Amino acid sequence: MESRVDVKMGMRDFGSGLSVDELVGLSAVEIIQLSTPSETVFLVVQKAAERMVQASLRDHILVEIWEDGHTVWSEPELGLPVVVSPLGRITKSKSSQDS
């Protein structure tokens, strides 16, 4: 089954297999629209992306996936980091909390 998603640089084709590395660089809203494999790492990223969208942070870009289940997102305009814990807790950088 083939999954496609529109991104700013054009169409991204995930082909017959999707690697978790291909999620890095996508926004939270783009990730929740994908049909991903049912492996744990994909479920962790999907859950974090859903939490980001619920918190009105839908345009933040996934930049890191930590082995312990944390995900790091980047605010698109200023590049400020936001971390989502495995339990869904969102932690913004001090600078992004001030704005």
Supply the DSSP string of 9-28, one letter for each residue: TEEEE-TT---GGGGTT-BH
Distance CA 12, CA 39 (A): 21
- Which tokens is 75 given? 């605010």
What is the predicted pLDDT for the residue at 16?
54
Q: Within the chain, how many helices (H) and strands (E) appear? A: 3, 6
75: left (phi over 0), alpha (psi -120 to 50) or beta: beta
pLDDT of residue 95: 63
> How does pLDDT run across 58-93, given as a tens digit for each residue?
999 999 999 999 999 999 999 999 999 999 999 998
Where along the chain do its domains lie? 4-94
pLDDT of 68: 94
Asked if the model's pLDDT at residue 7 lies above 50, the reply is: no
